[in-house]
Amino acid sequence: MIHANVADVELHFDTAPTLFSPAKADRGSLAILSCVSLEPNDKVLDLGCGYGLIGIYAAKVIGAERVWMADNDQTAIEYAVKNLAINGVERVSVVMSDGFREIREANFTKIICNPPYHVDFSVPKHFIEKGFNRLVLNGSMYIVTKRKPWYQNKLRSIFGGVHVRELDSYFIFEAAKKSFTYANADRK
């Protein structure tokens, strides 16, 4: 069992050895949560939720009915659902989806993700491009990685700008949707 205290919110997680960060709360996820300010009217997507750290924290802060969690791994989805129950959270929408392919919901104010960044860039490219389209105007995408240049350039080319913070050897990117079209039409 993993125990975490995030901004005075106590969280508990059961996990499996095959899931990301199975022994302790991931430092990258904790870093990104320290940079995201959740508001009562937010509508949040935890994209690539794993066993549920980000989404369950968001549900505890803003209410479960305003949170969606998605992952493409069946084991992750099973543990996310299990961890919702462990943490006494009901009514979060949990979706098995490869990126946005099975997510029907839109109009998110915040999309928060800790993508698999030790692989090629096809997954984060999909997350960023499709995420832009699922945000409300002035909604924000938050991404945490250990790689800076590609993410900074990609987010800038889609959103028109990006704010980057470095915390605990991670880069936290925040990009706000300021128009209904990509900043760079040729999507570099």
All residues at 6 or more sequence positions from 156 whose CB lies less than 8 Å from its CB, including other chains: 162, 175, 183
Using 50, 70 and 90 to split pLDDT, how confident is the model at 143? very high
Q: What's the pLDDT score for residue 183? A: 92
Residue with tokens 């993993």: 2
Q: What's the pLDDT score for residue 104? A: 95
How confident is the model over 56-68, as a mean pLDDT? 97
Q: What's the pLDDT score for residue 23? A: 86
The answer to whether 155 and 148 are in contact (CB under 8 A) is no
Q: What's the pLDDT score for residue 184? A: 81
Q: Is the pLDDT of residue 21 over 90?
A: no
Q: What's the pLDDT score for residue 187? A: 44
Question: Rounded to a whole number, what is the distance in angstroms from the first to the last CA of the chain?
Answer: 42
Q: What's the pLDDT score for residue 188? A: 43
% of residues, the chain, pLDDT over 90: 89
Mean pLDDT of the chain: 94
Taking the whole predicted model, whether its pTM rises above 0.75 is answered as yes
Q: Is the pLDDT of residue 43 over 60?
A: yes
The residue with greater pLDDT, 68 or 117, is 68
- What the chain holds in terms of domains, given with CATH numbers, is 2-16+26-176 (3.40.50.150)
Q: Is the pLDDT of residue 129 over 50?
A: yes
The answer to whether 187 and 158 are in contact (CB under 8 A) is yes
How confident is the model over 92-117, as a mean pLDDT? 94
Element (H, E) at 112: strand 108-113
Q: Is the pLDDT of residue 185 over 70?
A: no
Sequence-ordered strand ranges (E) for 14-56: 44-47
